[in-house]
Structure 1
Amino acid sequence: MTTVAAYAAPAAKAPLERTTIERRAVGEFDVLIDIKYAGICHSDIHQVREGWGEAIFPMVPGHEIAGVVSEVGSGVTKFKVGDRVGVGCMVDSCRTCENCLRGEEQYCLEGNVPTYNGIGKDGEPTYGGYSEKVVVDENFVVRIPDGLSLDVAAPLLCAGITTYSPLRHWNAGPGKKVAIVGLGGLGHMGVKLAHAMGAEVTVLSQSLRKKDDGLKLGADHYYATSDPKTFEELAGTFDLIVSTVSAPMDFGALLSLLKVDGALVNVGAPEEPISLNLFSVIGGRKTLAGSMIGGIAQTQEMLDFCAEHGIGAEIELIRADQINEAYERVLASDVRYRFVIDTATI
């Protein structure tokens, strides 16, 4: 085992603090990664504060990991020392269920093993990317193409794949009108990706405060959801709406913006339950759906797509001792658009 420095929350709602953790010895099919950068996802805050239920402490968050391979096990065939790699939201799955076998490990019927706040197959808690190093099975590691800088690539391992997957599944592309709800860490990636896929892209945000940013990122249109006229003007407009907001929304109002057979897909995960009048979906044969990250193969596909189109996250690089401040700024929507920790400062 290897002792490494990390930032952890010692208890629910407690500030994160510098500590040390143990990483397992490199096994036959394992890859040891020197973490260079780790993104801060809103879900890190949900979990540190137990917003999604009881959690495991101490907790080392972080599932947007970019780094360099420093050691490989004797059976590893996919990576070598020096490779630029990433790790996303999961580090294992059963690998044998129908979902795993078709490359959708995120929907493993036995439950995937999350990168942090989970229990690995060895029975030990998993610790995430706010740390110096991580050991991961090679089958849950992806290659970061040379065309992507590691710092802007790190958020792609969650924010990128979380928006890429539903855009691909619901066939965003030329001739399709796509709306992205919320222009934050996920939303700004959704805009970039949908634009690169060739769709006509609209941002639906609470206000017009970030309109100039949205248009620069690739949106064709930008509307404020706080203006009732938005819902009158855009009624029946969209083939696909991807909601990235982790707060309660008026889903009936959003569904009214879909065409017949349109889909409203949620990738944001509010802590509170929602209520819905089913006539919102019955009228127009509409779909209210959800989507969770993507499989390992699709995550690699996404990274290759981003490299091909010159897409990285818009980031603010911070020191590790700024993590708690960054959490407060995320909650205040004061980030454009992803905090990334320089792990050399841990």
Structure 2
Amino acid sequence: MNASTVLGYAAMAEGRELEPLEFTPPDLGEHDVRVDISHCGVCYTDVHGIRNDYGISTYPFVPGHEIVGAVTEAGSSVFDLKVDDRVGIGWQGRSCMQCEWCLRGEEHLCEDIANCGTWKPFGGFSASIVVDSRFAYLLPEAMPSEIAAVLMCAGVSVYAPLRRYEAGSSMRVGVVGVGGLGHIAIQFAHALGCDVTAISSSPEKEKEAREFGADAFVLTDTPDAMKPLALSFDLLMYTSHAKGEWTNMVDSLKTRGRMIVLGFPEGSVTFDPMELVIHEMSITGSLIGSRETMREMLAFAQEHSITPKIELMPISQANEAIQRITEGKARYRIVLECDN
């Protein structure tokens, strides 16, 4: 490898295992920073990217978008960051900064979002990365890098809707799925003062769910397990990739309650729209968060000791990490340590 190339781990074709790849990084733009990566989280979105489930992956595909590292170079128009600053980078590595949503400060809804992903052209399973400095966030000094890595995607994904819908002590929040997203959602909702119910098909997760801050635990081991919860929740956060029983999920919302979809259930889902109309319920999605929300989330997480449960693995075991995530065996997030 020469001085102008970077070593990463890439899928060379759709669905393939990752293999070492030496690539030439993009040139540094005026707003860009180059970051030497120390840690990168593994997210189920990386699995989707490797398999091209969204239809936007290009190959070779270097995954990774929960990134922490040190700035090594800054473009001519970068004033908020300097060399050696420790930064976090999430799913979004840039935006057009010109569309309606960017001008409203909601850059995560950029009209060109398909081309804003950190993995374009190469992601965080690598020694270094070039991103727009406006999407690289100075980290709290005391926050461990492996914790920060997970918060850059999973953290902001669950925090953003809780803040958007003003979650607080007067609210009852249900979290469907005690996994990579769900266990962090429980912590944030608890820290915001909500009454939190963890909802899972895995009985062995009850103890940890309560340790994360859940006030109650509901085991969905039968199709009708949610029926006793009718009209219970102000917010229901669906963090699972499993389909679940959506009619009973929707029925568990209070009048004018909201179901927030954060996972990507495979295939179609069905529910009875009658309850939506009668009780003015809503089903909505939520995608990461704005730059302002990201900064707020990091400060809140530090203040309230939000601590994702993490397995650390060397980046040389990236394929094993992907397999654990795919099979649902991670407890509850995996972070790769990059030795550069």
In structure 1, the residue matched to 2:19 is: 17
1:121-270 → structure 2 map (5 Å cutoff): 126-227=121-222, 230-270=225-265
Which amino acid in structure 1 is aligned with residue 183 of structure 2? H
What is the CA distance between 1:140 and its match in structure 2?
A: 1.3
Q: Secondary structure at the match of 1:69?
A: strand
2:305 to 290, 302, 310: 310
Work out the CA distance in 2 between the residues paired with 1:328 and 1:6: 18
In structure 1, the residue matched to 2:314 is: 319
CA contact 2:230–2:248 (8 Å) conserved in 1: no
What is the CA distance between 1:229 and its match in structure 2?
A: 5.8
In structure 2, the residue matched to 1:122 is: none
CA contact 2:308–2:332 (8 Å) conserved in 1: yes
Q: Give runs of ≥4 in structure 1 deviating > 6 Å.
A: none
- Compare 145-154 and 93-102 and name the one that shifted more: 93-102
Cα deviation 1:129-166 (Å, max 9, x = unaligned): 00110111111111111121111110101100000011
Which amino acid in structure 1 is aligned with residue 74 of structure 2? V
What is the CA distance between 1:328 and its match in structure 2?
A: 1.9
Which amino acid in structure 2 is aligned with residue 188 of structure 1? H
What is the CA distance between 1:247 and its match in structure 2?
A: 2.5
Q: Secondary structure at the match of 1:245?
A: coil
In structure 2, the residue matched to 1:123 is: none
Work out the CA distance in 2 between the residues paired with 1:283 and 1:209: 36
1:24-43 → structure 2 map (5 Å cutoff): 24-43=26-45
In structure 1, the residue matched to 2:107 is: 105
Which amino acid in structure 2 is aligned with residue 149 of structure 1? P
1:71 to 59, 73, 76: 73
Seen in structure 2, the aligned counterparts of structure 1 residues 220 and 246 have a Cα distance that, compared at 3 Å, is same
Which amino acid in structure 1 is aligned with residue 323 of structure 2? E
Q: Secondary structure at the match of 1:34?
A: strand
In structure 2, the residue matched to 1:61 is: 63
CA contact 2:223–2:245 (8 Å) conserved in 1: no
CA contact 1:115–1:127 (8 Å) conserved in 2: no
RMSD: 1.6
Which amino acid in structure 2 is aligned with residue 6 of structure 1? G
What is the CA distance between 1:53 and its match in structure 2?
A: 2.8
What is the CA distance between 1:51 and its match in structure 2?
A: 2.5
Which amino acid in structure 2 is aligned with residue 158 of structure 1? C
Which amino acid in structure 2 is aligned with residue 75 of structure 1? S
How many residue pairs get matched?
338
Gaps of 5+ in 1: 119-125
Q: Secondary structure at the match of 1:230?
A: coil
Work out the CA distance in 2 between the residues paired with 1:141 and 1:39: 15
Work out the CA distance in 1 between the residues paired with 2:32 and 2:226: 51
- Compare 291-300 and 50-59 and name the one that shifted more: 50-59
1:78-93 → structure 2 map (5 Å cutoff): 78-93=80-95
Q: Secondary structure at the match of 1:289?
A: strand
2:338 to 305, 329, 343: 343
Work out the CA distance in 2 between the residues paired with 1:232 and 1:137: 47
Cα deviation 1:22-74 (Å, max 9, x = unaligned): 21232322111111100000010012112233521110001100111112122
What is the CA distance between 1:112 and its match in structure 2?
A: 5.4
Work out the CA distance in 2 between the residues paired with 1:27 and 1:285: 48
Question: Quick check: 1:290 aligned with 2:282?
Answer: no
Cα deviation 1:277-316 (Å, max 9, x = unaligned): 3213123110011000001111111011111111132110
Work out the CA distance in 1 between the residues paired with 2:52 and 2:265: 13
Which amino acid in structure 2 is aligned with residue 293 of structure 1? I
In structure 2, the residue matched to 1:281 is: 276
- Compare 194-203 and 54-63 and name the one that shifted more: 54-63
Normalising by structure 2, what TM-score?
0.95
Normalising by structure 1, what TM-score?
0.93
1:334 to 318, 329, 334: 329
Q: Secondary structure at the match of 2:7?
A: strand
